[in-house]
Structures are given as C-alpha cells and as structure tokens.
Amino acid sequence: EPEVTQTPSHQVTQMGQEVILRCVPISNHLYFYWYRQILGQKVEFLVSFYNNEISEKSEIFDDQFSVERPDGSNFTLKIRSTKLEDSAMYFCASNRDRADEQYFGPGTRLTVT
C-alpha cells in the first residue's frame, strides 16, 4: 500500500539554526500539507500546497517558514531560524482531492535546544 514517508524521523538542532524537513507524498496525490503537534497538544494545520503554490497558511506559518516541491516527488518544510517553541512533531500529509482522506506520514520529531 502506498504511504507518505518523512525524513529524518528525529532532528535535533540549536536555536537559530535552519532545518529542512522532507516528505515524499503518495505519487498520484495532488494536494500536500504540513501539520505540527506540540507534545501533549492537538494537531495544528500549518500550510496547504497545490499546483506549486501555497493555497492556505495558518498564523503559525510566519516568514520563518517556507515550503517547496523541488522535484516531482519531494515536498519540504524549511524553518529558517528555529526557536525553542518550534519543538514539535511535524506531520506531512497528502491527498488526491482536497475533500478526500488525508494520508499522514510518520512524522519528524524536531527538538530545538
């Protein structure tokens, strides 16, 4: 069964450093998303992406965040200058149609020290 994959599974970085989280969505999917979940809290929407552009972003997704689909398979989330409060699990998701079930990757645990 096709699945969304994410790398790395765990990333530790120092405050102020840049990180890039990588995702490979399911191959025939057209809509891509990033969510985050701070430990003990709910899953929060960050951004949706379709046709090589952002279709919606949340208040969390400020100028420090960017997304890119550099080729036909990868979908990346970059945080330019990490803060302690960016520590969370970051989930990538995708679907073929925006009303369909979203398939989530296993997540990247980001720890900012």
Partner 1 sequence: RKEVEQDPGPFNVPEGATVAFNCTYSNSASQSFFWYRQDCRKEPKLLMSVYSSGNEDGRFTAQLNRASQYISLLIRDSKLSDSATYLCVVSGSSNTGKLIFGQGTTLQVKP
Contact region for partner 1 (CB under 8 A) — 11-19, 37-45, 68-76, 78-86?
37-45
The C-alpha R_g of the chain, in whole angstroms, comes to 13
> How would you class 57 by CB atoms within 10 Å of its CB: exposed for 0-12, middle for 13-18, buried for 19 or more?
middle
> Shortest approach of partner 1 to residue 81 CB, angstroms?
25
Q: By CB under 8 A, is residue 31 in contact with partner 1?
A: yes
Other residues' Cβ atoms within 10 Å of the Cβ of residue 84 = 9
Q: CA 86, CA 97: separation in Å to the nearest integer?
A: 29
| Residue closer to partner 1, measured from CB, 18 or 56 | 56
Q: Which residues bind partner 1 (CB under 8 A)?
A: 31, 33, 35, 41-45, 48, 50, 55-56, 58, 89, 91, 95, 98-99, 101-102, 104-107
